[in-house]
Amino acid sequence: MRLSSFFIALGAAGTLAAPVEQQPLPGSVRHHAGPHKVADPYTPDNRNPYDKKVDAQGDKLHPLPWRNGDGADMLGPRNRDRERQNPDLVRPPSTDHGNMPNMRWSFADSHIRIEEGGWTRQTTVRELPTSKELAGVNMRLDEGVIRELHWHKEAEWAYVLEGKVRITALDTEGGSFVDDLEKGDLWYFPSGHPHSLQGLSPNGTEFLLIFDDGNFSEDSTFLLTDWVARTPKAVLAENFRVAPEVFRAIPEKEKYIFQGSNPESIEKEIPSESPGYKKSKLQFTHKMLAQEPLNTTGGQVRITDSTNFPLSKTVAAAHLNIQPGALREMHWHPNADEWSFFIKGRARVTIFAAEGTARTFDYQAGDVGIVPRNMGHFIENLSDEEDVEVLEIFRADKFQDFSLFQWMGETPRRLVKEHLFATDKKSGEKFVKAIESAEKDPIRDVLGQDDDDKEEL
C-alpha cells in the first residue's frame, strides 16, 4: 500500500458527528453531480480530528471558528467572501502553532498603474514582507501596445499567461535578439540588458514578470524616453551626430506603456541589411509548456532552469498541474525561497518552520505564496473537480527539492519505526511497507484508493 493510501486510511478512520447540513448558496452546485447538500463542518458538533481539507469557496460555505467543539460563532462585521477564500485562517488546522509571518498576497490587492492600452501591478517586499528574494509584476498590453525600450538593475524572468508578445533584446557584444512568444513561453533578460515588449494578439497579452530582488520596483526602471528627456539636447546632438533641432519633438517625460503600430513579421522588422546589425548568440527565450512533462500519479511537472535554459542563471521554476484531490508531496527546497504564483484552482498549503511552528494558508488564481528555504510544506488541491495550476519560482540557477517520502524510504527501516512508531509496531510495519519503493512522486494521487487498503488500518 502506498504512503498516500496510508494517510487516506487514517482520515477515513475518524468518525464525524451527525452532520449538520446547509443548502449551498446559489451557484455552488457541482456540475457533474447535480444539486446536492454539503455537510457543514463549521458547527460546534462537527468533529474533524484529522484536519481534513474543506473547499469552503467551492461549496459556498461560511467558515466559522469552530473546531472539534471549541470556539464560537461571529457576532460582528464580516467579510464573508474573504473568509471563504481563506478558511484555514478562520478555522486553522489543530496542527497550526506559533507565530509565523504572512506568506500570502493576492494581486487583487495590488495597486494598478493604468497606462495607454495597458496596465501593471506588482507584488514586492512592500506588499508582502516575506517576498525577500523575488518580486513579481503582472502586466497587460493590448494589441500593438509597447512596453518601451528599457533596462533594470535586476534580472527579468517572465511567463506568458495569455496572448502573444514580441520581445527585443541586445547582448553585451552588440548582438540583437527578436522573438515572438505565446502562452506558456518564457524569456530571461540578465541584469542591465536593454529590451522591449509589444503586444501582438487582437485580444491583447498578459504575462507575469519576476525580478531577482524582492525590493524591486517597476517604477525604478531605466527608460529610454526618461533618459533622453533628462539629457541636454546639445549632448544628444553630439552623441548621435545630428543637429540639436532633431530633438525638438521628443517626449518631455517617460512613455512607459503606450500604443504603437502593429509590427510586421520578424524577418521584415530586423534591420539585417544594416552594417551595424548582428544576431545575438544568446537565446533569451524558452518554451516551457512545450517541454515533455514528468508524469506523476497526480499530475504533471515541467522544470526550467539553467540546465535546459542556460541563460537563466538567477531564476529557476517548475510548472505544476495538480489534479483534483491530488497533493504536491511534502518537501522542502534547500537552495532558495519558493515564490509561487497560482494560475488556476484552489489550494491549501501548510508551512513548517521548526521550533514547533506551522501555519496554513489558502490560495487561488492570482495569489502569490512564499515558502522560505528549508521550510517543509505541501500543496493540496482543495477541489475534487478542477486542477491547480501553479508556478514554483526560485532565485537560483537550478531547481532543487527534497522529498519526505523519498527520505523516509531511503532511511534504514529501524530508524524510521523507532522515530515515528515506537509504541505501535503494527502501524510501523505498514508504514515502512508503504514507503519501500522510495520513489519520488512530486504530485501524488490521493483519490480512488481501494476500500480494502482503508480497512487494513
Annotated binding site: 150, 152, 156, 195, 331, 333, 338, 377
Longest dimension (CA), the chain: 89
Using DSSP, state whether 315 is helix, strand or coil.
coil
Distance CA 284, CA 103 (A): 31
Residue 267 annotated as catalytic: no
Sequence-ordered list of residues with C-beta below 8 angstroms from that of 454, at least 6 positions apart, any chain = 5, 8, 9, 12, 13
Q: Per the residue annotation, which of 143, 252, 392, 418 is the catalytic one?
A: 392
Cell numbers that stand for 255 in this block: 512613455
What is the residue-wise DSSP string for 68-137? Answer: TTEE----S---HHHHHH-HHHHS--TT-BS-----EEEGGGSPEEEETTEEEEEE-TTTSTT--S-EEE
Sequence-ordered list of residues with C-beta below 8 angstroms from that of 145, at least 6 positions apart, any chain = 116, 117, 118, 198, 199, 204, 257, 258, 259, 260
Which residues are part of a known binding site for Mn(2+)? 150, 152, 156, 195, 331, 333, 338, 377
The packing angle between helices 413-420 and 425-434, to 10°, is 130
Closest CA to 189 of 216, 171, 205, 215: 171
197: which strand partners? Answer: 147, 167
Strand (E) or helix (H) holding 234:
helix 233-240
Contact 108, 123 (CB under 8 A): no
What is the residue-wise DSSP string for 25-68? Answer: PTT--BTTTBS--EEE--STT---TT-----TTTTT----SEET
Residue for cell digits 519558493?
338
Contact 98, 358 (CB under 8 A): yes
Sequence-ordered list of residues with C-beta below 8 angstroms from that of 56, at least 6 positions apart, any chain = 62, 63, 83, 84, 87
- Angle CA(374)–CA(380)–CA(382) in degrees, nearest 5? 150
- Angle CA(69)–CA(75)–CA(79) in degrees, nearest 5? 100
Contact 60, 24 (CB under 8 A): yes
Cell numbers that stand for 89 in this block: 485562517
Active-site residues: which are they? Answer: 392
